[in-house]
Structure 1
Amino acid sequence: MGGGERRARIVELLEKAPTPVSGGALARELGVSRQVIVQDVALLRADGHGVASTNRGYVLVRDRRPRRLFKLHHGPGEVADELYLIVDMGGTVEDTMVNHRTYGQMSAALGLSSRRDVERFLAELKDSRSSLLSGTTSGYHFHHVVADSEEDLDAIGEALAERGWLVPMSDYERETLR
């Protein structure tokens, strides 16, 4: 079974499961290691599947609201302003992702939908003494954003563009990133 087929099977198993499914159970079912499952889940998330981790396993979360991928560029000092702008306009920042030339796609789930969420994220980032994922790509990064309507997503995109943060995606990025 190839990676794409295995990831489709993971989604199928999560859709049918009445309760969270552990990484170990998915690994046994699919005949791979738990680490392969962790990698597959990361790829599924980057591909737009709402796979959430709980303390009892993975679940599939469906958000029916419109979703859009924005490519952005700015320095680390503008992260708070960018995230506040998005949530203040009714968006939820699902994740942050970079497309590194050597390491490929790397992403992290965020789930930021309010100023309080953003403040908590910024505090955790500061307390951890870790750097931003976008630091690996000179400030270039992507966010999947969901909102109540396409019009809200359009307005968020316009506001990001007005601030000079929105960057056009290349043909390659449009084809490979979702």
Structure 2
Amino acid sequence: MRDNRKVSGENRRNKILQWLKEKNRPITGGELATMTNVSRQVIVQDISLLKAKNEPIIATSQGYMFMAPTNNKAYERVVACNHTREETRKELYLMVDHGVTVKNVFIEHPVYGDLEASIMVSNRSEVDHFIKQVEETKAVYLLELTNGIHLHTLEADSEEKLELAYQSLCKAGLAIDA
């Protein structure tokens, strides 16, 4: 039987943190709102308060995630890319098909300086979900603010996977050769 009582304040934030730590998938603000019987806006404020306490929570296109430190050796590489909006799916597929997680996208904006957005996609299904959300919300890709030029932070469990992903981007003409 579902308890319809509102979960309040610190207790709610502790529960949110616990749920995020337990799940191996993102949890949407709507799901958290339903679980705590509060509005999605209250959840957004709770997440902000948790982040202010240095909890490693990130907002992705699929929902909120707790980014626990891992014991596994992870390798990272930043790659520079240049392509059109329409080539975004192809670009992301090329990277995730090599076992790489695309952590973010960032640009250097002439007015605002560095702008970064979390992506956190590791497979084609997550890429498709990300693209669908951009299309449904009619959002602008950051690359559209810089004539296609942008960077991604990639993560993998080997440097070889990062190199293969980068080489595939180069071969497809989507990477800016360093």
1:105 maps to 2:110? no
- The answer on whether the counterparts of 2:170 and 2:177 sit within 8 Å (CA) in structure 1 is no
1:139 maps to 2:144? no
CA distance in 2, matches of 1:85, 1:57: 24
CA distances 1:97-150 after superposition (whole Å, capped 9, x unpaired) = 111121111111111001000010011011001111111111111111111210
Identical pairs, percent:
26
| Stretches of structure 1 lacking an aligned partner (at least 5 in a row) | 1-17, 30-36, 42-50, 170-178
- The answer on whether the counterparts of 1:23 and 1:58 sit within 8 Å (CA) in structure 2 is no
Partner of 2:58: 53
User: What code does the residue aligned with 2:113 have?
Assistant: G
Partner of 1:78: 87
Partner of 1:24: 49
Cα distance change on mapping 1:161 and 1:57 into 2, 3 Å: closer
CA distance in 2, matches of 1:109, 1:117: 13
Cα distance change on mapping 1:153 and 1:22 into 2, 3 Å: same
1:69 maps to 2:78? yes
User: What code does the residue aligned with 1:24 have?
Assistant: L
CA distance in 2, matches of 1:111, 1:56: 11
TM-score by length of 1: 0.64
Cα distance change on mapping 1:22 and 1:110 into 2, 3 Å: closer
CA distance in 2, matches of 1:76, 1:56: 25
Give the SS at the match of 2:111: coil
- The answer on whether the counterparts of 1:157 and 1:166 sit within 8 Å (CA) in structure 2 is yes
CA distance in 1, matches of 2:143, 2:165: 20
CA distances 1:32-90 after superposition (whole Å, capped 9, x unpaired) = xxxxx8xxx9xxxxxxxxx4237999755446311100010001110000001111111
Structure number with higher helix proportion: 1
CA distance in 2, matches of 1:92, 1:26: 23
User: What code does the residue aligned with 1:72 have?
Assistant: C
1:93 maps to 2:102? yes
The alignment's C-alpha RMSD in Å is 2.9
| Stretches of structure 2 lacking an aligned partner (at least 5 in a row) | 1-16, 22-45
Question: How many pairs align?
Answer: 132
